[in-house]
Amino acid sequence: MIGTCTGKGALAEEPPARQLPRFDLLQYRDEGGQRHPVKSEADWQRRRSSVLQAMSSVMGAFDAERRRCPLDMQLVETVDCGSYQRQLIRYQSEPGCDVPAYLCVPKTALGPAGRVAPAVLCLHPTDLQHGHQVVVGIAGRPNRQYAAELAQRGFVTLSPSYPLMADYQPDLENLGWQSGTAKAIWDNRRGLDLLESLPFVRGNRFAAIGHSLGGHNAVYTACFDQRIAVIVSSCGLDCYVDYYDGDAERWRPGHGWCQQRYMPQMAAYQNRLQEIPFDFPELIGALAPRRTLIIAPKHDTNFRAASVDRIAAAARDVYRLLGVPDRLQVLHPDCDHDFPEAMRERAYRLIEETLAPDAPDPE
């Protein structure tokens, strides 16, 4: 769920405007600006590239060459959780910034004779007091402890804290970030680098799962990192134009998507939401051909189920173009803004199938 704060963030004087329809993904523009139908994977990659560029135009670029540095992982605390070990760690995502995270490791993967295990990036929902503690079951609301449950099923799980929540308060302005969204994506990608470096983690194919804030955080991150082979988003999205029925009050600076911890530049689109240069139909399309599960409860008042269906219908055109229409799934549980046990079980099974040792890579 998106809360409210009074974050800073200068608005672009002339923010970029949308160039192609948000619900018709099978169009692209060439270098001269002419429109063409998307008829092949190569055509789609042109549209996909323009989507990533539009995202960066609003949330800011990553400047990876300057920010990449040694991870310098530090162990803060270790707790025995029965079948797995929960480690509170910190890793350096960029010079001058350590990210707090929980690393849960099944005991079968520990020690010189341990078996390597698949790994999942577990992204937490909004919780200003507890942050990432929620997904490891230490605090927060029930039905959010997916990092702990996946560790119990034999997965290594990494749960980084989201910027400007709980005890993780990076100085975004001094670090040179235009948005908390971009900072979170970068922290998550460095988290995947960390998982790749661990001797008990198998391969370079991962899952990403999240509820609410974690749900869209998972989608945003997977758009920019192909190592994520399967994405689960619970209560994490609807179209920007549908968000609270387009209520202009939700698009004031410091509110909704326009907070410092999200994308302050979004406030430039108040009363002109149709011009936002990227939206979730394109973002879900950008995940293809990877397996994607969107859980959109029927009674979620934060993100609307009907809007999710429109998103999926548009994105499935891309999945169909790539020959894998069944890899995009949408479920509508009969509940409110929640991640019930039956839905988590569906998510875990999908992750298990995708990250199994003999599972083929998405092509």
- Mapped onto helix, strand or coil, the DSSP state of residue 100 is strand
Q: Is-contact 103 81, C-beta < 8 A?
A: no
Residue 245 dihedral angles phi and psi, to the nearest 5°: 55, 30
The whole-angstrom separation of Cα 161 and Cα 344 is: 21
User: Looking at the chain, how many residues does it have?
Assistant: 363
Q: Is domain 73-235+338-355 in CATH 3.40.50.1820, yes or no?
A: yes
Q: Which two tokens stand for residue 134?
A: 């929620």
Q: Is-contact 150 120, C-beta < 8 A?
A: yes
In the chain, the DSSP E strands lie at: 27-29, 35-37, 74-80, 84-94, 97-106, 117-123, 156-160, 201-211, 228-234, 291-295, 328-331
Question: How many CB atoms lie under 10 A from the CB of residue 243?
Answer: 21
Query: Looking at residue 326, what DSSP letter applies?
Result: G
The whole-angstrom separation of Cα 134 and Cα 125 is: 8
The whole-angstrom separation of Cα 151 and Cα 90 is: 19
The whole-angstrom separation of Cα 159 and Cα 258 is: 24
- Mapped onto helix, strand or coil, the DSSP state of residue 213 is helix
CA-closest candidate to residue 243, choices 310, 304, 332, 315: 304
The whole-angstrom separation of Cα 258 and Cα 252 is: 7
| Residue type (1 letter), 238 | D
| Residue type (1 letter), 286 | A
The whole-angstrom separation of Cα 238 and Cα 280 is: 7
Query: Looking at residue 261, what DSSP letter applies?
Result: T
Over the chain (363 residues), the average pLDDT of each successive run of 10 is 44 74 96 95 97 96 94 98 98 98 96 90 97 96 97 98 97 97 98 97 94 98 98 98 95 96 96 97 98 98 97 98 98 98 98 88 68
The full set of domain ranges for the chain reads: 73-235+338-355
Q: Which two tokens stand for residue 7?
A: 């974050």
- Distance (Å) of CA 224 to CA 64, 186, 189: 12, 9, 9
pLDDT score of 10? 44
